């Protein structure tokens, strides 16, 4: 067991760090992955290699209930997928993780289309850099309106 500034490093954490290093993950990504696995272990109250699919599900529910944003949840999903798929070779657990969808945004604003709502076409058009961007934006809005109308029926 080696040591770090915060104390000894477990063989499991050292293995994960070696796996990340061999795959060329950046130091920042490595730090975030270790931190996310530590958070999961703290939630469990035991080592993460003893977790079950139900433990992972409960942790994801906990993250949503605590108001974690999509970026935080998806970062944690990536870290845990790496940990279970690469370090532990437990694809069965990695498959139970669910990424969160982020709201669709269009140049600085959320595209809200539906009954009683309007798409903010004017602000999108004023920010468009060229004619091609305007055309793509209009196509996106028209597609969203069409899909919304179809879904509402």
Per the model's pLDDT, the better-predicted residue between 68 and 131 turns out to be 68
With a cut of 60, say whether residue 38 has pLDDT above it.
Answer: yes
The tokens describing 138, both together, are 């209009």
With a cut of 90, say whether residue 58 has pLDDT above it.
Answer: yes
Stretch 107-125: mean pLDDT: 49
**CA 78/CA 62 separation, integer angstroms:** 17
Say what the pLDDT of residue 8 is: 84
From residue 8, give the alpha-carbon distance in Å to each of 4, 11, 14, 111: 6, 9, 10, 49
**CA 45/CA 64 separation, integer angstroms:** 19
The residues pairing with 47 across neighbouring beta strands, listed in sequence order, are none
Say what the pLDDT of residue 102 is: 73
pTM of the model: 0.64
Q: Do 87 and 16 contact (CB within 8 A), yes or no?
A: yes
**CA 73/CA 132 separation, integer angstroms:** 34
Going by C-alpha positions, the residue among 18, 22, 83 that lies closest to residue 47 is 83
Q: Do 33 and 83 contact (CB within 8 A), yes or no?
A: yes
């Amino acid at each position: 067991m080696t040591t770090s500034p915060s104390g000894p490093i477990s063989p499991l954490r050292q293995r994960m760090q070696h796996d990340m290093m061999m795959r060329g993950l950046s130091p920042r990504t490595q730090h975030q992955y270790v931190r996310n696995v530590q958070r999961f272990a703290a939630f469990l109250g035991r080592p993460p290699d003893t977790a079950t699919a139900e433990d992972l599900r409960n942790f994801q529910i906990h993250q949503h209930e605590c108001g974690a944003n999509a970026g935080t949840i998806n970062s944690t999903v990536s870290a845990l997928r790496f940990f279970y798929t690469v370090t532990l070779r437990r694809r069965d657990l990695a498959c139970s993780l669910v990424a969160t969808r982020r709201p669709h945004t269009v140049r600085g604003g959320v595209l809200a289309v539906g009954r009683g709502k309007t798409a903010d076409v004017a602000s999108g058009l004023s920010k468009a850099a060229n004619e091609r961007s305007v055309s793509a934006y209009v196509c996106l809005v028209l597609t969203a309106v069409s899909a919304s109308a179809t879904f509402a029926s």
